[in-house]
Amino acid sequence: MEQSFQKGTVLHLASLIDYSEGGIISKQLIKSPAGNITLFSFDKGEGLSEHRAPFDALVQVLEGSANITVNGTLFTVKAGESIVFPANAPHALTAAERFKMLLTMIKEPATV
């Protein structure tokens, strides 16, 4: 995996990813058996259709704002705010304006 940042330094996460006119960009920062940390940028009106993930996910909005639906409830989440998607909960999002977010997904440990 191409590393897009230097470990052991202070990062300004929003500056590590650009916007794409009419599109979505993702950049995986960390991938491990325990989970993933990924930066995303969305142009206004772009989004992700409703889906589910088998583990909890934390979205931290870095710039702009998004309309996010979790379990049928609509939230407008702005820069500096966060929301947690519970494991297996249906969720979707649409960029209310251009926005950047950090997605942290933590996988459940395997049961013995």
CATH for 33: 2.60.120.10
Query: Do the Cβ atoms of 85 and 105 come closer than 8 Å?
Result: no
CA 40 to chain centre: 6
Residue 50 lies in a domain: yes
Residue 60 lies in a domain: yes
Residue 59 lies in a domain: yes
Residue 112 lies in a domain: no
Q: What is the pTM of this model?
A: 0.88
Query: Averaged over 3-20, what is the pLDDT?
Result: 86
Q: Tell me the residue range of the domain where 60 lies.
A: 22-104
> Left (φ > 0), alpha (ψ -120 to 50) or beta: where does 7 sit?
beta
Q: How many separate domains does the chain show?
A: 1
Q: Is the pLDDT of residue 112 over 90?
A: no
Query: Do the Cβ atoms of 91 and 51 come closer than 8 Å?
Result: yes
pLDDT digits (tens, 9 = 90+) for 24-70: 999 999 998 889 999 999 999 999 999 999 889 999 999 999 999 99
Rounded Cα gap, residues 43 and 38, in angstroms: 17
Residue 1 lies in a domain: no
Residue 48 lies in a domain: yes
Distances from the Cα of 62 to the Cα of 30, 82, 84, 99, 100, angstroms: 17, 9, 15, 7, 5
Residue 8 lies in a domain: no
Residue 39 lies in a domain: yes
